């Protein structure tokens, strides 16, 4: 037997027992007469004690052990004289009588400690060593626990976990596909799924009623910060449901996870229409951990000779409570912030509502105290508050103000990662105009159903932008953690949708023929949703990065720096696939 116990297991109750442990040498301390070693495995750390007097050769051997050596020890559990209350095994130690080196180890390139001295790249290159560290290992343990809770919750509610293919047909809608050449069909390619969308809908046509899958998805997008080319979704689909049924089911799942993982109980999650989210927060994923909702003052500010405001479609601002004392420097920094290309505003107007009731603003030339008071009243600002205003085309300005609101939230410490603010955003637009290609795209995907009352608008191209969808997102702390929709199950409506998206009958049939065919054989009304599982884990842990919750992630350039992929393949492989690489 390699071990009788794990390194996280032994307590005072075990004192007197002879046990065998195996694990890695975390660190050793040599105190002359005694040598102490911290032995680590996944479960914890146990202190080993070697006594020079009792067994000098053994003690000498222990002194020579390097960090990360794999060893096996046998000894007696004894009570420690100086206890360590920081670890669960801190009351005991093992008085070692036998030591067996199972494997030597090179000195690791960084310290295997909670605060490692290794930089990101180095730790990614040696990810298997990184995972030995508590924080990374605990993230993976947490991920497993979440996955188990999800599986059990859904299985208890009659969802079946069904696997769908990884090699599928490429579709032009959505993000860019990763493609896989087919050797047996030269010149033809599979795509890796961006999501199992069409298959889960087919499973509904197949009568499976409730499906889920914790499934890898692939999107070949330009990598923005904290995106992974492969990521995991909790993908779900249900038959014979209304939107209300879907929201309740998955709100239930989210609440269950919060209760089990964090001991937090929620009332009903708030709901907001997409339109209100954009109007009040400038975002379809508002961070509701703090208020600072948008106040529109277009009417109040016009007619005072300030050309910029007078000519703007929208003048809108936020109130930073108690910030009237912001210094010139702080305000300049905020102006610089909104002028950064990522935000793109032309500038920012501030109005200080001083504690004594007076005003100081960057537009004093145009607005007297009375006019500034009218703005303050419209914005519901109080003495001591700071108002920050942006202006321009409505949607663009809202999005810019959203960035400023989040920045103020950060500055004022209002975005506590241990505080959780869930939200459903509902009634998304069905279609989204793209200036570049001069056509509408499905905002969610082409299978999303319009709201029945908006369906007639499909016949009027001038109104396409107004059509609302039965589509919903679940948002947590300003991040979209999931989304889905009621699907179109009617072939005629689906055809109309394809036409709206610029497909001809032929091109729709070529792309989606199998789904369309399936819909002629009795498709039930159905709907679904997918959670981004990596993101959900990171939010539950109050962490920023999803990478920390993926065992072997890619770096920001989409590379696996450990295995060095992607990598060229051999000329014979290319030949077999009949792929010619153009040489520059």
By the criterion CB under 6 A, which residues form the site for ligand ASP?
195, 197, 483-485, 528-530
Buried b / exposed e along 233-264 (16+ C-beta atoms within 10 A): bbbbbbbebebeebbebbbebbbebbeeeeee
Rounded to a whole number of angstroms, the minimum distance from the CB of residue 221 to ligand ASP is 13
With respect to ligand ASP, which residue has the nearer C-beta, 359 or 447? 447
Helix, strand or coil for residue 400? helix
With respect to ligand ASP, which residue has the nearer C-beta, 233 or 500? 233
Residues contacting 53, CB < 8 A, separation 6+: 33
- Sheet of 526-532: strands edge to edge? 160-161, 210-218, 230-239, 526-532, 479-486, 471-476, 422-426, 271-273
With respect to ligand ASP, which residue has the nearer C-beta, 322 or 525? 525
> Are residues 237 and 207 in contact, defined by beta-carbon separation less than 8 angstroms?
no
With respect to ligand ASP, which residue has the nearer C-beta, 290 or 472? 472
With respect to ligand ASP, which residue has the nearer C-beta, 139 or 195? 195
Q: How long, in residues, is the chain?
A: 584
With respect to ligand ASP, which residue has the nearer C-beta, 224 or 328? 224
Taking phi over 0 as left and psi of -120 to 50 as alpha, with beta for the rest, 578 belongs to left
Find, among 531, 536, 526, the residue nearest to 198 by Cα: 526
With respect to ligand ASP, which residue has the nearer C-beta, 24 or 211? 211
Rounded to a whole number of angstroms, the minimum distance from the CB of residue 173 to ligand ASP is 11
Rounded to a whole number of angstroms, the minimum distance from the CB of residue 29 to ligand ASP is 52
SS (H, E, C) 328-380: HHHHHHHHHHHHCCCCCCCCCEEEEECCCCCEEECCCCCCCHHHHHHHHHHHC
With respect to ligand ASP, which residue has the nearer C-beta, 26 or 201? 201
Rounded to a whole number of angstroms, the minimum distance from the CB of residue 201 to ligand ASP is 9
Rounded to a whole number of angstroms, the minimum distance from the CB of residue 237 to ligand ASP is 7
Rounded to a whole number of angstroms, the minimum distance from the CB of residue 487 to ligand ASP is 8
With respect to ligand ASP, which residue has the nearer C-beta, 41 or 473? 473
Rounded to a whole number of angstroms, the minimum distance from the CB of residue 352 to ligand ASP is 44
Residues contacting 419, CB < 8 A, separation 6+: 289, 477
Find, among 94, 79, 87, 97, the residue nearest to 13 by Cα: 79
Rounded to a whole number of angstroms, the minimum distance from the CB of residue 450 to ligand ASP is 15
Residue whose CB is nearest to ligand ASP in the complex, by number:
195
Rounded to a whole number of angstroms, the minimum distance from the CB of residue 483 to ligand ASP is 5
Find, among 214, 264, 270, the residue nearest to 247 by Cα: 270
With respect to ligand ASP, which residue has the nearer C-beta, 47 or 243? 243
- In angstroms and rounded to an integer, the radius of gyration of the C-alpha atoms of the chain is 30
> Are residues 493 and 449 in contact, defined by beta-carbon separation less than 8 angstroms?
yes
d(CA 4, CA 441): 61
Rounded to a whole number of angstroms, the minimum distance from the CB of residue 115 to ligand ASP is 37
Query: Alpha helices of 208-285 — where are they, by DSSP H?
Result: 243-262, 274-281
């Amino acid at each position: 037997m390699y071990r009788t116990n794990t390194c996280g297991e032994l307590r005072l109750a075990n004192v007197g027992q002879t046990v065998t442990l195996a694990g890695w040498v975390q660190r050793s301390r040599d105190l002359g007469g005694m040598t102490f070693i911290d032995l680590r495995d996944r479960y914890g750390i146990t202190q080993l004690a070697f006594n020079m007097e009792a067994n000098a050769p053994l003690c000498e051997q222990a002194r020579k052990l390097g960090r990360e050596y794999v060893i096996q020890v046998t000894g007696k559990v004894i009570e420690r004289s100086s206890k360590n209350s920081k670890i669960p095994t801190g009351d005991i130690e093992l008085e070692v009588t036998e030591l067996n080196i199972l494997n030597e180890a090179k000195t690791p390139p960084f310290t295997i400690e909670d605060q490692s001295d290794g930089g990101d790249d180095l730790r990614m290159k040696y990810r298997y060593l990184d995972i030995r560290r508590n924080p990374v290992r605990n993230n993976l343990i947490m991920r497993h626990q979440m996955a188990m809770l999800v599986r059990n919750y859904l299985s208890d509610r009659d969802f079946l976990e069904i696997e769908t293919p990884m090699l599928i047909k490429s579709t032009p809608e959505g993000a860019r596909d990763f493609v896989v050449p087919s050797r047996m069909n030269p010149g033809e390619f599979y795509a890796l799924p961006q999501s199992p969308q069409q298959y889960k809908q087919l499973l509904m046509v197949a009568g499976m009623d409730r499906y889920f899958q914790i499934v890898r998805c692939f999107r070949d997008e330009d990598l923005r910060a904290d995106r992974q080319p492969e990521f995991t979704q909790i993908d779900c689909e249900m038959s014979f449901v209304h939107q209300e049924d879907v929201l309740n089911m998955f709100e239930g799942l989210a609440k269950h996870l919060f209760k089990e993982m964090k001991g937090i109980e929620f009332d009903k999650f708030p709901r907001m229409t997409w339109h209100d989210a954009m109007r009040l927060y400038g975002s379809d994923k508002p961070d509701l951990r703090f208020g600072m909702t948008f106040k529109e003052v277009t009417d109040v500010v016009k007619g005072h000779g300030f050309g910029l405001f007078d000519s703007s479609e929208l003048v809108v601002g936020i109130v930073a409570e108690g910030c009237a004392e912001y210094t010139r420097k702080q305000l300049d920094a905020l102006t610089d912030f909104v002028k950064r290309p990522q935000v793109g505003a032309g500038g920012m107007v501030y109005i200080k509502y001083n504690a004594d009731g007076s005003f100081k603003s960057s537009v004093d030339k145009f607005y007297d105290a009375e006019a500034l008071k009218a703005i303050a009243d419209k914005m519901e600002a109080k003495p001591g508050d700071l108002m920050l205003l942006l202006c321009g085309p409505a949607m663009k300005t809202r999005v810019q103000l959203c960035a400023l609101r989040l920045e103020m939230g950060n500055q004022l410490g209002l975005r506590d990662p241990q505080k959780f603010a869930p939200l459903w955003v509902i009634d998304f637009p069905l279609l989204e105009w793209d200036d570049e290609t001069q056509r509408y795209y499905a905002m969610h995907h082409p299978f999303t159903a319009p709201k029945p009352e908006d369906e007639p608008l499909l016949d009027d191209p001038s109104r396409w932008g107004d059509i609302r969808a039965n589509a919903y997102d679940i948002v947590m702390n300003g991040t979209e953690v999931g989304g889905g929709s009621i699907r179109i199950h009617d072939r005629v409506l689906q055809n109309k949708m394809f036409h709206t998206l610029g497909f001809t009958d032929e091109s729709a049939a070529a792309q989606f023929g199998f789904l369309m065919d399936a819909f002629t054989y009795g498709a039930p009304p159905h709907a679904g949703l997918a959670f981004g599982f990596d993101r959900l884990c990171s939010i539950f842990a109050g962490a920023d990065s999803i990478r920390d919750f993926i065992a072997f992630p890619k770096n920001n350039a989409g590379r696996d720096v450990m295995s060095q992929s992607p990598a060229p393949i051999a000329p014979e492989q290319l030949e077999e696939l009949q792929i010619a690489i153009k040489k520059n």
